[in-house]
Every structure is written in structure tokens, then in C-alpha cells.
Amino acid sequence: MSITKTLVPKIYFFYENIEYKVKGIKEIRLWLIACAASESKKIGELNIIFCDDNYLSKINKEYLKHNYLTDVITFDNSENKGILSGDVFISIERAKENAVLYKQTTTKEVRRLLIHGLLHLIGYSDKSAIARKLMSELEDAYLDKV
């Protein structure tokens, strides 16, 4: 008899220096798992850290040597090509400002940042205009599925 080990995705949510709490955690987990599956990937362990600008700015300076505000930073910890593992840091302050700027709800903007981080783990880049356009199109497509 053969026993097959099934990968159980581990998606954790953390909060640093903010009062904001994300709603629909169970729905978000299922959505992220489905998005990864659409890209022929599985989620191993994903840590999502919601924080303030100051917290994310320190990470941006320390690890990426960037001295500017950003809304999301993703660190890929994957050891297996088909299994995604990593840390996604999201500034709720940036998400709220982006929501106003783009006339969206904060909830939708947070979900855009979640899928943006996942797309980075999958291997998509946003370093060029063409790559940013593709990333934006994928974000929109996956947001329609939530």
C-alpha cells in the first residue's frame, strides 16, 4: 500500500503596528490557493504581514536598500519550483491611500496587494512597463474571481 503525502497549504496572517483587521480570512485563503492553482502552483507556507508605513519602510531600507515608501514587499522562501513559500508584507496605510487615489475600497486594494505579492512568488515581475501591464492585467483577472 502506498501512502501519498498531501500538501496542506499554510497561510498565516500577522499584524504589526496597526489596528486594522482583514475581513474574510477563510475566503482569502481559498482564493489565494485557487489563484496559485490557476498558475499550476501550490502554496506551501505563506506569511502575510499587515503593517504600517514605518514598519515596511524599515524592511525596504534594510533588506532592499530602498529609501522610499511602498505598498507591498514579497520575499520568496520557496525551495521547490512548484510550491510557493514566502512572506508578503503589506502596508495598510499605503493600501488606504491607494484606495482613495484609485477610487476603490480598502478591501479591494488590500486584495490587489495580496494577489500582487502572490504573483511575485509565482515568478512575475513588475520591473518594466510591459511586465507591469501584465501584472496589472493578472491582478484584475484574479480580483474578478474573489
CATH number at residue 69: 3.40.390.30
| 5 inside domain | no
pLDDT at position 1 is 45
- Beta-carbon count within 10 A of 73 CB: 21
Q: What is residue 65's predicted lDDT score, i.e. its pLDDT?
A: 94
Whether residue 142 has pLDDT greater than 70: yes
Domain count, the chain: 1
Sort strands 72-76 and 83-91 into parallel, antiparallel or unpaired: antiparallel
Residue range 39-52: mean pLDDT, rounded: 98
Check whether 2 has a pLDDT greater than 90: no
Share of the chain above pLDDT 90, in %: 92
What is the β-pairing status of strands 72-76 and 10-16? Answer: unpaired
**Is the pLDDT confidence value at 60 over 90?**
yes
Residue 60 lies in a domain: yes
Residue tagged 509565482 (cell numbers) = 122
For the chain, how big is the Rg over CA atoms in Å? 15
* Within a domain: 36: yes
Residue 109 lies in a domain: yes
**Residue 110, in any domain of the structure:** yes
Q: Kindly state whether residue 97 falls inside one of the protein's structural domains.
A: yes
pLDDT in tens, 68-92: 999 999 999 999 989 999 999 999 9
Look at residue 2 and tell me if it is in a domain.
no
Residue 143 has pLDDT above 60, yes or no: yes
Residue 5: per-residue pLDDT: 61
CA atoms of 90 and 109, how far apart (whole Å): 11
Q: Note down the domain range covering 91.
A: 10-143
pLDDT at 124 over 70: yes
Position 31 in a domain:
yes
